[in-house]
Amino acid sequence: MLRFPLTLLLLSGGCGVSSAALPPEPVSGSSVSKEETFVDYIFDAERQVLRDRWGRQPDRPAPGIAPVAETGGAPALRPQAGKPVRLTGLDLPAGPLTLSLWVRPDAPLSGAPQVIRASGSVLTLGIDGQNRYQVTRSDDDRRPQSATAAEPVGPGRWQHLAATHDGVTLALYVDGRLVATQSCRGRKTSHSDSGEALGSRGDGSNPFRGLIAAYAVYNRAFTAAEIAALARSFHARSPDNNATIQVRSLSSL
């Protein structure tokens, strides 16, 4: 069993992988403490489950997890049609939060809405009908408020997405850049009756076509500098629950 971080360096020669398809180079200072982490899912390809690194949440059956060659073998989820990963309202903290994950949307985009992370009444992250990233969160009166990026999605390459809510403002970041904000007053970001899912809506509609990796939720709203640090690193927890695979690319376009 590994006890120390394992770093994988991807070399540009002889692998046939374009650097544009890879997550960017990690930097120091992007680590987050256990106390600040609400859930940090290990993508377990052998057992086909999402497993909370800290054991705070039960395992989530997740068919479609497999090692990805371009990330040095780090696992990612390709959601299966009609089979979203079932989460619960307890997968979100009850107050301020930061949601962080990596995605690689398939090309070409169809123009149909795609849901990356769904919520019946709390927090939904996806791609709207105009191929733009969008995060929607319900305020305390359960009225939906959305922050939508102005730029279209860049399919076929890895992108880091983060959504934050501090009780006043909902914010969306793409590759470490703040791309949209929306006033959204509310303290409660978790409802036990909310239908949470990863990869589509809870009923399987509006499926996301692509890969999802390194999904984590933190129990405070990160600063812009902290989001930028997350976007410069790609960490994938190994199934032994102790090793961290850090994937590094030499450059990005």
- Assess if residue 193 is contained within a domain: yes
pLDDT of residue 246: 44
- Assess if residue 1 is contained within a domain: no
d(C-alpha 250, C-alpha 253), whole Å: 11
The model's pLDDT over 90-148, given as tens digits with 9 standing for 90+, comes to 677 878 999 999 999 999 888 899 999 998 667 899 999 999 999 998 888 878 999 99
- Assess if residue 16 is contained within a domain: no
The model's pLDDT over 163-194, given as tens digits with 9 standing for 90+, comes to 999 999 999 999 999 999 999 988 666 555 56
- Assess if residue 15 is contained within a domain: no
For residue 239, give Cα distances in angstroms to 41, 47, 74.
Answer: 10, 9, 10
d(C-alpha 98, C-alpha 46), whole Å: 28
b/e map 140-155, b = 16+ CB within 10 Å: eeeeebebebeeebbb
**CA-derived radius of gyration, the chain:** 17
- Assess if residue 102 is contained within a domain: yes
Report the domain count for the chain.
Answer: 1
**pLDDT higher than 90, residue 223:** yes
Q: What is the pLDDT averaged over residues 19-36? A: 54
H or E element: which one contains 226?
Answer: helix 224-231
Task: Quote the domain boundaries for residue 170.
Answer: 6-10+21-248
> What's the CATH code of the domain at 106?
2.60.120.200
> Mean pLDDT over all residues of the chain?
80
pLDDT of residue 120: 67
- Assess if residue 234 is contained within a domain: yes
- Assess if residue 62 is contained within a domain: yes
pLDDT of residue 197: 92
- Assess if residue 90 is contained within a domain: yes
Percentage of residues of the chain with pLDDT beyond 90: 53
**pLDDT higher than 60, residue 29:** no
